[in-house]
């Protein structure tokens, strides 16, 4: 498997796991604090998506800098790779959020 696909799959599952794990632990915290776990899980899954995306691609603004510097320099291949990594991470975060909605009966 190519390095590109390996990193793209890893980004997908990191974002997916952050959303799913965060929502599940948020639900456990809601049960402990006597709040409705379903609503808490849904809220956490929606709020954590952007952070899952950021964490999956490295946790910094470096991917955006790579896109900017390569687009300005006319070198499109690294910029397209970074955009694809962001897309895979977004898909992972979104699918994690949709799974939480489905499990909670809202999807």
10-59 pLDDT, tens digit per residue, is 999 999 999 999 999 999 999 999 999 999 999 999 999 999 988 888 87
Q: Above 80 in pLDDT, residue 93?
A: yes
Its pTM stands at: 0.86
The domain in which residue 49 lies consists of 3-103
Structure tokens at 6: 């390996």
Q: How many domains does the chain have?
A: 1
């Amino acid at each position: 498997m190519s390095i590109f696909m390996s990193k793209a799959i890893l980004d997908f599952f990191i974002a997916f796991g952050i959303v799913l794990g965060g929502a599940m632990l948020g639900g456990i915290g809601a049960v402990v604090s006597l709040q409705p776990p379903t609503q808490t899980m849904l809220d956490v899954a929606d709020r954590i998506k952007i952070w899952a995306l950021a964490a999956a691609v490295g946790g910094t603004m470096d991917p955006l800098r790579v896109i900017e510097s390569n687009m300005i320099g006319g070198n499109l291949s690294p910029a397209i790779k970074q955009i694809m990594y962001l897309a895979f991470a977004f898909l992972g975060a979104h699918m994690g959020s949709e799974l939480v909605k489905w499990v909670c009966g809202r999807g």
